[in-house]
Structure 1
C-alpha cells in the first residue's frame, strides 16, 4: 500500500506526486523523491524498481522480508534493513518483530514497512522542519529513519530492565524459584530478539561512518556517528542484562536445590521418628512365649511411654537442628 510519494528540492517539499510522475522529477538536479510503502505487493515493488532502477537482489530481499538487519551497497545506491520491535498491545509480554527496508539512491528514497502498526510520520515531519539538514538529500533521510528506529529500541530495553528488576525482587521469595526461572527464560528469549536487531545494525551502520563512506552519506557522517553511539549503548545494556540473567538463573537453581534439600530433611526427620516407634512396636509384636515383658502388668503402658518419649526426644532434637 502506498503511504505517500513526495518530491523535495533544496530541503523544501515541492509537492505530493503520483508514482507515474516520478520520472520527470528525477531528471532535475537537486531534487529527490521519497516514497513510503506499507506491506508492499510484488507489483508495487516492480513498478518502483522500474522507476528508480532498484537492484533486483535488494528488491528480492524486500519481497521476501524476514531479513537480517544490514546495510548493503549496490553501485551508487544503498539498501538497509532494520527491525521494528513492538511490545505494547501484545499478550504475555511478547515482542513483535516488524521490518523496514530502505532503498536509498542519489535522488530517491524508498521505504517499505512490513508487519508493523507504527508508521514514521514523525520522521517526515522532522525532516521537513529542518530544511538546512534535508539539503543533504537522501543520506540525511536514511539517518533520520535509522535514528527513529533506534530510538524505539530504548522503551523496549527499559521495559525489559523493569521486568528483570521485578524478577530479582522475588528471587528469594519462598516457593517462587521455579516461577522466577520460567520468567527469566522468557525474558532472555525477548532480550535475544532485541540483540538480533541491534548487533547486526551496529555492524552495518559502521559502514556509513569512518573509512570509505558511500557518496550518498557524505555530509551526514556525524549524524550516523550519533546513531552508532546509541546502538553501542543499547548493545552494552543488552550484554549486561544477559550476564545478570545468567547469574539470576544460577541463583534460582540454587534456591530450588536448597528448597528441595529442606523438604528432604523434613522427610528424613519424620522418617527417623516413625522408624523408632515402628521398630519398638515390631519388637514387642513378635509374641514369643518367653518374652519377659509379655506378661508384665504395666508392660503395655511402659512400651507406649518409651515410644512416646523417644519420639518426643527426636522431635525436639530435629526441631532445634532446623530439620522440622
Structure 2
C-alpha cells in the first residue's frame, strides 16, 4: 500500500506543467526563456538576449537568466559570442555526455550536472528501464546565468517559480541560482533512490517468499545495472560540490558557499544509499543463487533416490534375463510371484528409507 502511495505521488508530481519544454518557447526551437531580474524581481521576459543583457548592464545591477534546450552549434554560437563564453565550455554544452564538474573560465563558472528521473513501471522485469539520465549545463557570470538542458526531463520551470517566490534569495544573484539548481538536482537524486528502494524491496520479497523463480536473477542484475547508471550520475558530483563549497571565488558569496556545503552533505547521503543498495542487492543475489543451488541439490537427491529404487527390479530382471539353462526357480510354480513380491518389498523398503531421510 505504501509503495502504491509513493508511486501515485511521483506520478502526480510528473504531471506538473513543464515550463521549460521547447515547444512552449516563444523565442525559437532552443531558447526556452530569457528573463531579466533586478533586486530579485522579474522584470521582463521573452525578449532577445542582447536586449536583456543591455538592460541589466545599463541598470548596473541584477542579472539575466537564459534557458536553452538541446541547442545546436549555430543556435548557441550567438549566445556564446554575446556572453564571451570559452570555446571549450561551449563545446561541452553543445555535445553533452560529460561527467559532472565545475570549472572556472576567466570570469565565468561552468558547471555540469546529471539529471536523473525514475521510470515508472508496474512490475520490474529483466529488461525494465528504471533510471533515465540527462544533462544540465550552467554558465554563471557576474550578471548572467545560462542553463543548457539535454534530455527529456530535468525541467527548471518549477525551480524558477520557487526562486521567484523568494526575491530575497534571488537577489543574491547568479550564485543563488547555481545553488538552487544544485540543490534541485540532489533532491531529484534522493527521490529516485527512494523509488528504487521500492523495487529492491519487491525483489527481496520475491526472493525470500519461498516461491522465487529462476528469473529472479535477471531482475536483480537489471536493477544492479540501473543502479550503476545512477551511481555514474551521482558519485562524480561530490568533488565539484566540495570545490564550490570550499574554494574562494569572486562569483560565489561566502554566504552562498555555506548552502553548497549543505547540498554536499545531501549528496553524501545519496551516495551512501546507493552503496548500501548495491551491497544489499549483492546479498540478495547470493541468497537467490544459494536457493537455486539448494533446489538443484534437492532435485538431484530425488532423482538419485528414484534411480536407486528402479535399480532393484532392474538388477533382478537383469539376472533372470541372462537365459542360462540351469537357474533356480525357473520351473517352480511360485517362482514368478516370489520374485515380484521380493522386488516390491525391497522397493517399498528403499522408498520408505528415502522418505524418512527427506530425500523424497
Asked if these proteins are the same fold (TM beyond 0.5), I'd say yes
Contact 1:86/1:97 (8 A) holds in 2: yes
1:213 shift after superposition = 2.5
Counterpart check, 1:215 vs 2:253: no
1:20 shift after superposition = 3.2
Which whole-Å CA distance do the structure 1 matches of 2:152 and 2:238 have between them?
21
Of 184-193 and 114-123, deviating more is 114-123
Contact 2:169/2:176 (8 A) holds in 1: yes
1:312 shift after superposition = 0.7
Which whole-Å CA distance do the structure 1 matches of 2:250 and 2:353 have between them?
83
1:90-119: CA deviation from partner (whole Å, max 9, x where unpaired)? 782432111111111111100011112351
1:139-180: CA deviation from partner (whole Å, max 9, x where unpaired)? 000011111111111221111111111111121344525222
Counterpart check, 1:25 vs 2:55: yes
Question: Which of 133, 155, 160 is equivalent to 1:124?
Answer: 160
Structure 1: 5+ residue runs without aligned partners?
Answer: none
Scaled by the length of structure 2, the TM-score of the pair is 0.86
Q: 1:271-286 alignment to 2 at 5 Å?
A: 271-286=307-322
Question: Which of 76, 87, 98 is equivalent to 2:107?
Answer: 76
Which whole-Å CA distance do the structure 2 matches of 1:173 and 1:140 have between them?
49
1:47 shift after superposition = 0.8
Counterpart check, 1:182 vs 2:218: yes
Contact 1:105/1:138 (8 A) holds in 2: yes
Of 97-106 and 10-19, deviating more is 10-19
Q: 1:237-276 alignment to 2 at 5 Å?
A: 237-276=273-312
Which whole-Å CA distance do the structure 1 matches of 2:170 and 2:53 have between them?
21
Which whole-Å CA distance do the structure 1 matches of 2:199 and 2:138 have between them?
33
Of 52-61 and 13-22, deviating more is 13-22
Which whole-Å CA distance do the structure 1 matches of 2:332 and 2:238 have between them?
91
Contact 1:184/1:245 (8 A) holds in 2: yes
Contact 2:206/2:212 (8 A) holds in 1: yes
2:184 corresponding residue in structure 1: 148
Which whole-Å CA distance do the structure 2 matches of 1:204 and 1:226 have between them?
14
Counterpart check, 1:159 vs 2:195: yes
Which whole-Å CA distance do the structure 2 matches of 1:122 and 1:27 have between them?
27
Which whole-Å CA distance do the structure 2 matches of 1:175 and 1:217 have between them?
56
1:34-56: CA deviation from partner (whole Å, max 9, x where unpaired)? 00011112122111101101111
2:169 corresponding residue in structure 1: 133
1:8 corresponding residue in structure 2: 37
Contact 1:177/1:253 (8 A) holds in 2: no
Contact 1:287/1:294 (8 A) holds in 2: no
Which whole-Å CA distance do the structure 2 matches of 1:260 and 1:213 have between them?
62
Contact 1:82/1:99 (8 A) holds in 2: yes
Q: Secondary structure at the match of 2:207?
A: coil
Scaled by the length of structure 1, the TM-score of the pair is 0.95
Dislocated runs of 4+, deviation >4 Å: none
Q: Secondary structure at the match of 2:319?
A: helix
Contact 1:10/1:31 (8 A) holds in 2: yes
1:238 shift after superposition = 0.6
Question: Which of 83, 86, 110 is equivalent to 1:52?
Answer: 83
1:25 shift after superposition = 2.8
